Amino acid sequence: MSPLRVVVDPNVLVSLLIGKRLSVLISIFNDPRFRIIMDDLLFDELDGVARRPKFRKYFPTKKLDEVVYLIEQNAEILVSGVKAGSISRDPADDYLLGLCKRGKADVLLTGDDDLLVLETYGRTRMISPKDFIAEYLS
């Protein structure tokens, strides 16, 4: 059986870094049941958001660097593509949908209501961290 192709929204990655609630998600980066799909735009957003001063009280930058290294070692990293166009309620999120399309993602793991409201985009299903954990990691 082919691994589930997953794009992880940077907001989920930052939440994973902040607290224990989503810490179980770190396992998906080494789990052969999942293939994580990333690109430079996603890495850039993660880096830009996670290094904001307001997050320094929640996790050290060393922890961010460790997670990025783990992702780089295990993810399928695609070349950034053309924006998907205006698809979601927040056009700033549309690059994630473009990545899902290019990467033939089965799932977009996100906590963003602007994306969750879509439910699907092409072959990609939008799923919250809570639902992903219940469905795939319990």
Domains of the chain: 4-137 (3.40.50.1010)
Return the number of other C-beta atoms located less than 10 Å from residue 24's C-beta: 14
The pLDDT > 70 percentage for the chain reads 95
Q: What is the C-alpha separation between 120 and 106, in angstroms, rounded?
A: 10
**H or E segment at 34?**
strand 34-39
* pLDDT for position 88: 72
Q: What is the pLDDT of residues 87-131, one digit of tens each?
A: 776 778 899 999 999 999 999 999 999 999 999 999 999 999 999
The pTM (predicted TM-score) of the whole model is 0.92
DSSP 8-state class, residue 126: E
CA–CA separation, 29 and 18 (whole Å): 17
Q: Burial-class residue 78 by CB neighbours within 10 Å (0-12, 13-18, 19+).
A: middle
Confidence of residue 34 (pLDDT cuts 50, 70, 90): very high
**pLDDT value of position 6:** 98
Polymer length of the chain = 138
Instruction: List pLDDT tens digits, range 63-80.
Output: 999 999 999 999 999 988
